[in-house]
Copies of this chain bind each other. A is one copy, B any other.
Amino acid sequence: MKGFAMLDFGKVGWIEKDRPVPGPYDAIVRPLAVAPCTSDVHTVYEAAFPKEMVEFPRIIGHEAVGEVVEVGDKVEDFKYGDKVVVPAITPEWRTREVQLGIHQHSGGLLAGWKFSNPLRDGGKDGVFAEYFHVNDADMNLAHLPDDIKLESAVMAADMMTTGFHGAELADIQIGETVVVIGIGPVGLMSVAGAKLQGAGRIIAVGGRRKITYDLAREYGASDIVDYTKGPIETQVLELTGGKKVDKVIIAGGGPDIIYEAVKIVRPGGIVANVHYFGSGADAYIKNELKHRDVLYLGRVEWGAGMSHIRIVGGLCPGGRVRMERLLSIIRYKRVDPSKLVTHRFRGLERVEDAFYLMREKPLKLVKPVVFME
């Protein structure tokens, strides 16, 4: 079968591979719609992990809805022909991390993430292929209801669960003021998630792509800050009359973005991160005389360690129940994620175009989707 793969850091292309074979609890799925994710771009072009840990070639892509074409003999709830939503995170559920309540890290740090995860240990081929393999189908797939369209459902796999997780990590209370930094598709879903969890005022921080401003407003932003126009802190505090905000969700930004977030959040507030930091600050720590790859926050702004400002960040939840709940959000019209989709392609081979589009990020792009036919 054909798949679109990372051939080396900085290099992608089509490869031929054998169609995967299911274990007793697994399913083989043929994609109906897939979407490229910025994290695929990070993986290929930023080389977030050292080369010796990475497997080449690796088929990329982790956002898909599809059709089951084969199941293992222990699979009970899915059969040939079923239409399914496939979460980006498909953990093994028989691990001690699951008993600890962190299925995202089932088997190790981030190891619940399998599709297109570049690591030799833990990762596997992604969904940009004629077929892909889903471990533990009964626990990781969700049936696609007839009344939910493909392009909405494919947004549940990663964009909704990640964006909403920002709001969950921020533990939003009714009527709080929330800043969302970064309004690409994940950040837009964090705006929607903040609204969905009860935020009052929502200030969205965006940049060059004005199309995201309108969408942010549609999804619930009450104010927009353009970070290209000046420091975030200055602009946010001007909007609030100098009052710090209750919570900040980070869905984009450079290595200094936690530093910036801490400056605008009140004591007892939360900085919740769902951004994948492809690179950190190259910080020269003088008293240690060494360089390090770090993220950082201001000592005084963080109350010299005593501000009760919490810094949290986490990979999105996956698995079947999560997907079913997100499908419920779509079905009952709480949030319509299909508004994210600005570009549509037809045919597996167009994955390549969609991927490059995601890399280039033209002004009119939010999220492309590739339908298989």
* Residues on A facing B (Cβ under 8 Å): 25, 48-49, 93-94, 96-105, 108-110, 136, 138-139, 164, 168, 173-177, 193, 195-202, 222, 250, 254-256, 259, 266-268, 273-288, 292-300, 302-315, 319-322, 324-329, 331-332, 334
Contacts and interface: CB of A to CB of B under 8 A. Distances in A.
A303 to B, nearest CB: 5
A310 B307 contact: no
Interface centre among A139, A197, A334 (most CB of B within 10 A): A334
Contacts of A320: 96, 99
Nearest to A246: B100
A293 B101 CA distance: 35
Contact of A297 (B48, B295, B299): B295
Q: Is the interface of A mostly helix, strand, loop or mixed?
A: mixed
25 contacts: A96-B321, A97-B268, A99-B103, A102-B267, A105-B266, A110-B306, A168-B174, A174-B325, A175-B322, A177-B328, A198-B198, A200-B328, A201-B328, A222-B332, A256-B288, A276-B306, A277-B304, A277-B305, A281-B287, A282-B286, A295-B297, A303-B313, A305-B313, A309-B313, A310-B312
B284 A293 contact: no
B313 A299 contact: no
A266 B105 CA distance: 10
B308 A311 contact: no
